[in-house]
């Protein structure tokens, strides 16, 4: 039986704060069982207009280790035992995983193997309740060797790896050595697409020398260049297209994707071999949670409780905004206020609020998801390439929130998987993020069921 928390149970839990220990959490505690029967039925899928390489799976159920499989790997952290985590993918129904390949960590800027390097925390002294960046710091790795080990484990367990990078978006700030960070950021923006393509080429050559290339699902030049430090608009498309052409010429046996979040068709290179748009349904957080709190005009860092919503969801005792900002200077400005908010949230109060807000917005969010998947699928069909959603969902939750584990919380994920099935997607990540550092990773029965459903192409009744 799937371990999903019912709406009524969740309301009772958050109101009384009496059953928190029974919820699925990062510590793997026992979940409240009882999900609605889905009675899956076969989907009527469109005929694919593309042909996949014969060694790749018919469908990709995608997990995501992001950068944490490198940076969150000290003793006691989720990725310390890499073999165990990779083995956990097929246990949960995943046959693919998307990772930061650490291209500039594998190789120096002139292309030489970089060797061992150290990783630090995201914000020194503040990691509680931060999603995907609650890193202790202090780990040291030869990243090229670690990528090779990941690929060996993937081959052992029948897992296919999507190799990408977040280095010009967020992951470079986890590098402890300021000189290495400076080297990476010193590459001029108009040179970055080709620079990353050349680094990816070097990595692929190493993996081919070791016979590991057949467990690569596809590669990306970079995660979301439309939301990263790259040229934008027409210049972005031209430079990105040149970098993809270089990789395709060097490795005609490897699929090369573009990877975007804006759904702006005009910037997608004409030569991508996988159509990959991140299908985030933003309604709960950008225009609501953030816009009504830390981004509101009336937000006063010295007195945040003047905003009613903050007064409702913050802990009784909070870290002053100015203190947190001083510690957070190393990370991208976008995340500083968000991380302050999450660090100071009372998760029980937050979950009460998000359940109410989700109920108000659920119908509009599901309509938006329906339209977005349909539009993306149509573009993929017109290009005659496979469609993939390897990142998305509807909420970037604080780490201690339980909302995603509830029946209303998972209903949005179930819908998005239905939409991916309906429109003939090749690959789908069933949740916002899904790696060993996230609470939903411990909900093995639900993950197995939703991944099996996608693989079988079965819609909910």
Over the stretch 150-166, which tens digit does the pLDDT of each residue have? Answer: 999 999 999 999 999 99
How many residues belong to the chain? 461
Q: What are the C-alpha distances in Å from 74 to residues 71, 176, 180, 217?
A: 8, 14, 21, 28
Q: Which residues contact 49 (CB under 8 A, 6 or more apart)?
A: 381, 384
| Residue 138 CB neighbour total at 10 angstroms | 13
Q: Over the stretch 185-213, which tens digit does the pLDDT of each residue have? A: 999 999 999 999 999 999 999 999 999 99
Q: Over the stretch 313-339, which tens digit does the pLDDT of each residue have? A: 999 999 999 999 999 999 999 999 999
**Domains in the chain, ordered, with CATH?**
52-283+364-459 (3.20.20.80)
H or E element, residue 160: strand 160-164
Query: What is the pTM for the complete model shown?
Result: 0.91
Q: CA-CA-CA-CA torsion for 166, 168, 173, 179, nearest 10 degrees?
A: 130
The C-alpha atoms of residue 7 and residue 409 are separated, in whole angstroms, by: 9
Per-residue pLDDT band at 22 (split at 50, 70, 90)? very low
Does the pLDDT at position 219 exceed 90? yes
């Amino acid at each position: 039986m799937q371990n999903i928390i019912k709406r009524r149970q969740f309301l009772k839990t958050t109101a009384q704060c009496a059953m928190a220990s029974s919820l699925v959490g990062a510590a793997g505690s026992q979940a409240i069982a009882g999900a609605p029967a889905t009675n899956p039925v076969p989907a009527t899928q469109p005929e694919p207009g593309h042909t996949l390489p014969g060694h790749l799976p018919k469908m990709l159920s995608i997990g995501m280790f992001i950068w944490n499989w490198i940076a969150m790997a000290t003793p006691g952290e989720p990725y310390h035992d890499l073999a165990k985590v990779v083995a956990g993918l097929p246990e949960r129904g995943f046959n693919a995983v998307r990772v930061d390949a650490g291209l500039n960590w594998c190789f120096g800027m002139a292309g030489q193997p970089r060797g061992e390097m150290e990783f630090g925390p995201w914000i020194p002294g503040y990691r509680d309740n931060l999603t995907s960046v609650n890193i202790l710091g202090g780990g040291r790795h030869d990243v090229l060797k670690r990528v090779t080990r990941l690929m060996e484990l993937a081959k052992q367990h029948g897992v296919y790896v999507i190799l990408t990078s977040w280095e010009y978006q967020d992951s470079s700030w986890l590098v402890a050595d300021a000189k290495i960070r400076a080297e990476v950021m010193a590459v001029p923006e108009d040179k970055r697409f080709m620079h990353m393509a050349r680094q990816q080429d070097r990595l692929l050559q190493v993996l081919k020398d070791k016979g590991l290339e057949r467990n690569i699902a596809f590669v990306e030049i970079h995660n979301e260049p439309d939301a990263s430090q790259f040229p934008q608009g027409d210049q972005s498309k031209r430079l990105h297209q040149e970098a993809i052409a270089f990789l395709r010429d060097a490795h005609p046996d490897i699929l090369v994707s573009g990877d975007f979040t804006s759904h702006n068709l005009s910037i997608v290179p004409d030569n991508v071999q996988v159509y990959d748009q991140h299908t985030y349904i933003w309604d709960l957080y950008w225009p609501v949670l953030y816009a009504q709190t830390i981004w509101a005009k009336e937000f006063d860092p010295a007195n945040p409780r003047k905003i009613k919503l903050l007064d409702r969801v913050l802990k009784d005792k909070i870290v002053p905004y100015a203190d947190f900002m001083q510690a957070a200077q190393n990370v991208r400005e976008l995340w500083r206020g968000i991380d302050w908010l999450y660090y100071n949230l009372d998760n029980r109060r937050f979950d009460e609020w998000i359940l109410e807000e989700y109920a108000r917005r659920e119908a509009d969010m599901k309509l938006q998801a329906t339209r977005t998947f349909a539009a993306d699928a149509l573009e993929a069909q017109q290009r005659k390439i496979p469609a993939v959603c390897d990142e998305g969902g509807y909420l970037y939750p604080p780490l201690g929130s339980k909302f995603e584990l509830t029946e209303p919380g998972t209903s949005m994920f179930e819908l998005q998987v239905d939409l991916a099935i309906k429109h003939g997607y090749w690959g789908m990540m069933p949740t916002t993020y899904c790696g060993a550092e996230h609470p939903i990773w411990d909900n093995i029965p639900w993950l197995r069921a939703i991944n099996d459903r996608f693989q079988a192409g079965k819609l909910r009744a």
